[in-house]
Structure formats: C-alpha cells, structure tokens
A and B are shown apart, each in its own frame.
Chain A
Amino acid sequence: MTGTADIYHEMIIDYSRNPINFGEIKDHDVTFHDSNPLCGDSIDIDMKIDDDKVTDIKFHGNGCAICMACTSVLTEITKGKTLDEVRKIDKKDILGELGLEHLQAVRIKCALLSLKVVKSALYTYMGEHLDDSQDVDKLKEEAANLY
C-alpha cells in the first residue's frame, strides 16, 4: 500500500491546484459526463475531433486532488492523438505518469474516472460516426471494465 506521503507529492498537488486543460469547448464534437457514485467526483470532458485526431480537449468538474491530477495528465496524453491511439491509452499510462501504481482500491476510481469518461466519449463519437457497431460495443465493454 502506498503511504500518504507517496501519494500527495508535489506533482499531484500542483496539478490539483492548477489543472491543465481545465474549461469547456463550446463547439465540441463530443462531450461526456460521469461521476463516482460513492464519493461524488464529477467530470465532464469535451473533445474537438478533426481527421480522426483529437485536436483539442478540455475538462471541468469537481473532484479530489487525485482525480484532478489524473484528469490533467490524461488530457495532456490524449491531445493530438488519433482515435485509435486514444483507444489504446491504458490505466497504467495514467497511474505510471503520477507514480500511483499502488494506489489503494478505493481511490483507484478517483484516479481513473477521467479515463472512463474519455473512453465513453470516444465510443459515443464512434457510435455516431462509424458504421462498424461491433467496434463501438467493444469500446463500451472496455470502458465498463476499467476499474
């Protein structure tokens, strides 16, 4: 188990105090909202998509330091990636970036809420723009089994 001191390091506090890509995209191509029923973390993510590439991404909402820091990192990772690359973003990419690999189970949901939202936004977009519905179902399953 990671100790408190390991979790609340400088980077987490800085990101939670000054989140990156915080805000809204008014003319987004896709937006998605989700929340953690137990703790009330609540995140909206807007994405702008051109030529199958995420050209802009912003988030708003309310969450703990872990949630806000992970969302900041995720938006940085996502920006500029193709939809296929976004599909492949793994929870290890987020947790690894912030040294949260051993986060206790109850806080994993705080850390990965935004990844769930991004994946859900992606399948919403693909559902609207892709003919191959099998792909979308697979994505939905991926998003559902994140934690």
Chain B
Amino acid sequence: MQSTDSSFENLRKDFPILKRTVRDNKKLVYLDNASTTQKPNQVIDSITDYYQNHNANIHRAVYALAEEATEAYEATRDKIANFINIQDRQEIIFVRGTTEAINLVAYAWGRPHIKEGDIIVTTEYEHHSNIVPWQLLTQEKKAKLEYIGVNDDGELILDDLDKILATGKVKLVTFSLMSNVLGTITDAKKIIEKCKAAGVLTLIDGAQAVPHMKVDLETLGCDFFAFSGHKMLGPTGIGVLWVRKSILETMIPFHGGGDMIREVHKYETTWNDLPYKFEAGTPNIADVVGFGAAIDYLTKIGMDNVREHEIELTTYAIEKLSKVKGLHIYGTKDISKRGGVISFNFADVHPHDVAQIIDGEGIAIRSGHHCAQVLMERLNVAATSRASFYIYNTKEEIDVLVNSLNIVAKVFKL
C-alpha cells in the first residue's frame, strides 16, 4: 500500500463508526486514539465469525469446534511473534491489557526477586499503570521507587538514570516507549544499553508505541514488554506480556486455576509449560481472535506507512495549532522524537470546558490528567486537552479541530 493521503482516506470505509454523526448531526471527528482506537469491520467480523462458527473452550476437548477455537487462539500468538519480532512463542502471555501485564510482572517477578533496600526505577512521564504496581511492590518489600525526570522539552533526563544506577541497588528500570501525554518517543536503546552494562533488567510499556510504529523486540533487547490490543484496532480486554524465557522461568504463578497446572493433588500442584503457567482460567478467546485480525490489518498497511501518515498529520496539526493565539503545546516539536499525540492548553480555559464545547462540534478529544498525575505535577498543570491520531484521521479533521477552538475563544471571550 502506498502511503498517500488518499490511500489512508480509503481505509475509512472499513470503520463503520466513522460514518455516524453525533450531537447536533455533526460528523464524528474521533481524536482520542491514545485512549482507544475504533475497530474495522475485519476485526468486528472476525469476532462475530468466531462466536457464530467456532466457539468452544480451548486446550481441552477433542471435538472439532474445540480444535478450531484452539487453532484460532494460538494463531494470534504467532501473529504477535511476527509483528514485534519474537523468536519464541512460549514467551508470549495473553493478559487483559498493559495494566494487567505490568501488575503480573510486579507480582510474579517482583515478589520473589525484590528485597529490602532494592531500587526500582520508573519515569515522570509514566501512565499510572507503570507507577502504582511498583509503589505497591516497593512498599510491601521496603524497597525504593526512584524516578527519571522529564526536561522542559518533554524528554527523559538520562543523567538521572546514571546517578540511580551508580547506587548498585537497581533491580529494574521500567519506562514507556512513548508518553501517552507528550507523545515523546523514549530513547529506549540508550536506556537499555546503560541498564545492560549495570546488569539491570528493563521493562517497556509499549501500549502507545506498538500501534503507531515498527517495534522490534530483538533489536530493542529489553527483558519485559507489554502492550494492549484495543489501542491498535483490536478489541478491549486483550493484551500481551512478553518476558525473556530465562526470566519467565524464575517467576511464580500470578493466578492459580485451570489451564495453568500440570497435576493437582490435595496439597500440591505442578505447573503447566510456558506460557500456559501464566494463563489461568478460560481466556478471552474471541477477543484474542479479533486481536489477530487487527494485527493482520496493520500488517497489510505496513507499520512504516502508519508512522509516516502520523508524522504527516502531527506536523500539520502542530503547525496549525501553533498559530492559535493563546494555545500552548506541551512537549518537543521535533517530530522525529514524537508520535501522534498532542497535549495542549488554551489560554486559561479548563481542558474540560474545551473538550465539552468542541464535543458540540462532533469532536472527541480527551481532557484531564490522562492517568499521568506525576507528569501533570511536573508540568505544573491540573489537566491538559489531548488530541491523538490514527490511520483513519485526516488533515480536514485537524482543520475542524482548529476551527472549533474559535468557538471556545468566543464563549470564553478570549
């Protein structure tokens, strides 16, 4: 597929929701993709097809349906392995989403490995899902949580990492590959290099990055990686945790129950092979199948094309929004260092009021702290407005957003 404006416009017909109107018969302009993306027919149909034709529990029964369901479920694991370049499919664990993935690591790796006085390092631009699980763990273990700071351009201050690593007490460094507020793309290579030299493990929250750019785990060289299906055209309630096998083998089970066991006796149990040891209970089979369809869809477009399209949109949006008097954009303006996420504040108008007024024009943006209150404190703001783009967004939609700000200015007499 050619990465031109028109070829991406063509994709819009695959997304039934984009045809609807909202509020006062206004065309929907959906710009909250960092929160969740819309779903193409290919994904919706795959879930319907699964329930209509193949529904059964997996990994157990011998009949035809069970075999088909198991095959469809496991096929997605292979698609994921190809999509982000993982050699060993046993390292891929299905979870509800990035939040559950990180909690799984904090519990199943953190509990046996973290001791009093150890340090876990996160960053000031993390989502709450990459802060709170580590607070819980470090509080329980009397360990310490330290932060890599964020500079005024919205980039991580890697000197902070050097200082913390120098203590010799760091066990894990965990960071987002792309900030969900600033869009900053983290220099993961450099962080991992430093951590490897210090013998420290790394966890990457890929929830914002995997949907928007080519990610190659083999090249990255991290130890844990998490992302969610619903931010990349897939259904809600399904995500992935990848863990390097040598580490996975040292982890305790997260949930006990069916499917994760080999033999259960009255007082002791032996565990199933990887990855099933970490997939207790009947999983979210239909949504795993839908996730597979989403990966097929993105693979067909090509992740380099996705990134290129978003660079084009983001460049255009920053240029247009910068011209709006009184509008402040957070983060770097160097497009090579940021994804399609733009957080802004408009004069002294509260982001909730901005979002509500432009909702009247059919525009869906997010307002609030974006589950990143530590970053809000660092930026010294209570909240921001955030527009975030995906494959189906157009320059015309950005024009609608920019024009709608005139209404905000009028209401608030700016």
Query: Chain A: residues with CB nearer than 8 A to chain B?
Result: 3-5, 7-8, 13, 16-17, 38-42, 62-67, 107, 110
Contact = CB atoms under 8 A, between A and B. Distances in A.
29 contacts: A3-B23, A3-B24, A3-B360, A4-B359, A5-B360, A7-B356, A8-B353, A8-B357, A8-B411, A13-B412, A16-B350, A16-B353, A17-B412, A17-B413, A38-B368, A39-B367, A39-B383, A40-B373, A40-B383, A62-B382, A63-B350, A63-B382, A64-B351, A64-B352, A65-B353, A65-B412, A66-B352, A107-B356, A110-B352
Contacts of A8: 353, 357, 411
Contacts, number: 51
A16 B347 CA distance: 14
Interface string B177-214: 00000000000000000000000000000000000000
B23 to A, nearest CB: 8
A64 B353 contact: yes
Interface centre among B356, B359, B369, B383 (most CB of A within 10 A): B356
Nearest to A4: B360
B311 interface: no
Interface of B: 23-24, 349-353, 356-357, 359-360, 367-369, 373, 376, 382-383, 411-413
A38 B382 CA distance: 11
A5 B411 CA distance: 9
Given A5-B360, A63-B382, 16 more contacts: A3-B24, A4-B356, A4-B357, A13-B411, A17-B413, A39-B367, A40-B382, A41-B352, A41-B382, A42-B382, A63-B350, A64-B351, A65-B349, A65-B412, A66-B352, A107-B352
Q: Is the interface of B mostly helix, strand, loop or mixed?
A: mixed
A4 to B, nearest CB: 4
Contact of A40 (B357, B376, B411): B376
A69 to B, nearest CB: 11
Given A13-B411, A63-B350, A40 B369 contact: yes
Nearest to B376: A40
A64 B383 CA distance: 10
Nearest to A3: B360
B360 A39 contact: no
A134 B356 CA distance: 41
Given A4-B360, A39-B352, A63-B350, A13 B413 contact: yes
Contacts of B373: 40
Q: 5 closest pairs, A vs B, by CB?
A: A4-B360, A64-B350, A64-B352, A62-B382, A40-B382
Nearest to A61: B382
A3 B165 CA distance: 54
A120 to B, nearest CB: 20
Contacts of B352: 39, 41, 64, 66, 107, 110
A23 to B, nearest CB: 18
Nearest to B384: A40
B320 to A, nearest CB: 22
Contacts of B383: 39-40
Nearest to A63: B350
B368 A39 contact: yes
Nearest to A14: B413
Contacts of B350: 16, 63-65, 67
B343 to A, nearest CB: 13
A63 B376 CA distance: 14
Contacts of B24: 3
Contacts of B360: 3-5
A42 B382 CA distance: 9
A3 B359 CA distance: 10
B202 to A, nearest CB: 30
Contacts of A67: 350
Nearest to A38: B368
A8 to B, nearest CB: 5
A7 B355 CA distance: 13
Contacts of B412: 13, 17, 65
Contacts of A66: 352-353
A41 B349 CA distance: 13
Contacts of A7: 356
Nearest to B356: A4
A126 B290 CA distance: 56
B404 to A, nearest CB: 11
A33 to B, nearest CB: 14
A116 B352 CA distance: 20
